[in-house]
Structure 1
Amino acid sequence: MRLIQVSDCHLHADPAARSRTGNPYRQWCRVLDEVARYQPDMLLVTGDISQDDSQASYVLAERELARLECPWYWLPGNHDVPALMQQFQAPTTRVDLGSVDMLLLNTQVIGEAHGKLGPERLAALDAELSRSQRAPLLAMHHPPLAVGSAWIDALGLVDAAEFWQVLAAHEPVEAIFCGHVHQAFDTRQALPRGEVPVHACPSTSDQFLPGSRAFAVDSEALPGFRIIDLPPSADNGAVSTRVVRVPLP
């Protein structure tokens, strides 16, 4: 099974609106054109669909997602309006991917750039992991660890320590996929029962400069998406993933 992740679209109501380095809507369309070539079985959007809190921005997002011949799911980022998202796609917290389940975690703190799960969401995650018969994938907007850019890390998941405490009490999850950082990032987090791979996805809009102490856009980096290939069964191989960059006309 092939899952494709896109993230941080930052769409405006006006399709002609520009970002710092380009046109978010045109890049969104271009990325999804390329995504379709890879024939995904499912698509995941890890937040920041909208930039201007407008219903029209979600109309543009949903219109292009509907072109794909596969189911799609999204979760909110710090820029999103969940009530507007729900008009197009009902929220879900678990998706059956055949060989593995995927848990969608909401890290949004309304009105803030940083993320937080909080006691209730952490308790729900703990309960889900306790019920799981197989190690799931996790999807979330804010990364649960530092990515090496000081200004981004200050806006990460503020209760990351509590998050990892929950995960440490269970068998390691298969992998964690997140957005928010507008760059490709791959690492592993060591836990008492094993390591957990953590992957971040490029934005379909502007890219942020890796390793920067202060806010900086990477004007040379192209938009992109992440391919996640799942094994046919839980006992037959591991999850593999790679990033694809999309040339712009």
Structure 2
Amino acid sequence: MSLNFRFAVISDLHIALPQTIWNHPSRFHLVEVSIPVLENILDRLSECELDFLLLPGDLTQHGEPANHTWLAERLAQLPYPTYVIPGNHDVPSLQANHTSIGLADFPHYYRSFGYDNPKQLYYTCQLLPGVRLIALNSNQFNAQDKQLGCLDDEQLVWLQQVLETHQNDLILVMIHHNVVEHLPGQARHPIGQRYMLDNAPTLLQLLRNAGVQLVFTGHLHVQDVAYSKGVYDITTGSLVSYPHPYRVLELQTDDRGQRSLQITSGRVESVPGWETLQQTSRDFMGDRSQPFMLQLLMQPALKLSQAEAEALAPSLRYFWADLANGDATFTFPEFPNAARRHFERFSAIDAEGQPQSIDNAVTLRLS
């Protein structure tokens, strides 16, 4: 089947109405701009003739009912279908409390955006003839009510059945947690692993067996395209943190039946009251980066002493911001050899060490 369609991805919106914003001195999320930045992006997308829009989780600041209600009402005004899944911030606790909704409440807010069965936190739907979305829920809670990032057994059985039933469709998968590493050693690092799906290998095997190539994720707040044995994990940066990006994607089929996915990315440069949003946001992240950088330096693989870490941390002030921007190249010639090599591994390079700028604009050839 010759497929040609266009869609967009906006991730980690962290919508926060003014009355719901709470301050935390170390937060990386510039939630004050969540609504104006969203409106700016929606204005741009109105000119793109989209077939649909995907929102891979963290729709709200911290699961507040008012923020979920506002977003659902705003999405209902869009001229194209929109599909959502929950992120960890959308359902921070299993049961509802005085500040946030419970896990089972989420589908009720988004019945018009994929959840036609309000008793189930995952779903599948036909996007277009021959094109199917599988939207997964990666938020689980253990016996101690601790939030986990994984797929439960029931969902995996359901997924297997859906993949078998719709094996002739082009399938897009949307899930909040990353399924392919976007950072070196992400699945094993104490900091990076919390952004990974705990049972990612199981999911990846199911997808590979079914020939699924495209997965759309969020959670990490970076612009990155990662690939592993036939599967692309396209993660999109957050609407409320530098560089305030979004993606427009076009799937095309040429005369020979070859399919490709063209990815372009945009950024919101300014909104009213935030005329220098890009620089302000980059500085906002940099100003809060030191505790995070110290952890990165003192934990495996470097295991530096606190004194050694404190000496290097100032040079890493913008490290995470530059990583979030995508296609970064890092050089720290003044660092000790082990630290220099460690951080240079985060550069956007191919297996031969050559620059590989695929995080923001690229055309992926599909099999």
TM tier, smaller? 0.7 to 0.9
Distance 1:96 1:67, change over 3 A: closer
Instruction: Look at both structures and tell me which one has the larger radius of gyration over its CA atoms.
Output: 2
Which of 241, 245, 253 lines up with 1:224 in the alignment?
245
Paired position in structure 1 for 2:364? none
What CA distance in whole angstroms lies between the structure 2 residues aligned with 1:35 and 1:112?
37
Paired position in structure 1 for 2:133? 102
Paired position in structure 2 for 1:129? 163
Provide the secondary structure at the position in 2 that maps to 1:230. Answer: strand
Distance 1:88 1:154, change over 3 A: closer
Distance 1:157 1:112, change over 3 A: farther
Paired position in structure 1 for 2:232? 197
Does 1:27 pair with 2:33?
no
Output the aligned Cα RMSD: 2.5
1:186/1:197 contact within 8 Å kept = yes
Paired position in structure 2 for 1:49? 59
Distance 1:159 1:140, change over 3 A: same
Which of 156, 167, 173 lines up with 2:196 in the alignment?
156
Alignment of 1:1-249 (within 5 A): 1-14=5-18, 17=21, 20-21=29-30, 22-81=32-91, 82=103, 83-90=105-112, 91=115, 92-110=123-141, 114-132=148-166, 133-148=168-183, 150=189, 151-170=191-210, 172-190=211-229, 195-206=230-241, 221-231=242-252, 235=257, 237-249=259-271
Paired residue total: 230
Higher helix fraction (1 or 2) = 2
Paired position in structure 2 for 1:217? none
Which ranges of structure 2 fall in alignment gaps of 5 or more residues? 92-102, 116-122, 272-367
Which ranges of structure 1 fall in alignment gaps of 5 or more residues? 207-220
2:245/2:268 contact within 8 Å kept = yes
What CA distance in whole angstroms lies between the structure 2 residues aligned with 1:38 and 1:25?
20
Distance 1:65 1:245, change over 3 A: same
What CA distance in whole angstroms lies between the structure 2 residues aligned with 1:16 and 1:165?
41
Distance 1:203 1:153, change over 3 A: same
What CA distance in whole angstroms lies between the structure 2 residues aligned with 1:202 and 1:112?
25
2:251/2:262 contact within 8 Å kept = yes
What CA distance in whole angstroms lies between the structure 2 residues aligned with 1:118 and 1:56?
29
Larger RCO, structure (CA 8 Å, separation 6 or more): 1
Distance 1:15 1:9, change over 3 A: farther
State percent identity of aligned pairs: 23
Distance 1:173 1:106, change over 3 A: same
What CA distance in whole angstroms lies between the structure 2 residues aligned with 1:54 and 1:197?
32
Q: Which amino acid aligns with 1:223?
A: H
Shift of 1:15: 6.2
What CA distance in whole angstroms lies between the structure 1 residues aligned with 2:74 and 2:109?
16
Distance 1:84 1:157, change over 3 A: closer
What CA distance in whole angstroms lies between the structure 1 residues aligned with 2:169 and 2:249?
18
Per-residue Cα deviation, 1:42-64 (whole angstroms, up to 9, x for no partner)? 11111111113222101221233
Provide the secondary structure at the position in 2 that maps to 1:31. Answer: helix
What CA distance in whole angstroms lies between the structure 1 residues aligned with 2:195 and 2:226?
19
TM superposition score normalised by structure 2: 0.57
Q: Which amino acid aligns with 1:163?
A: L
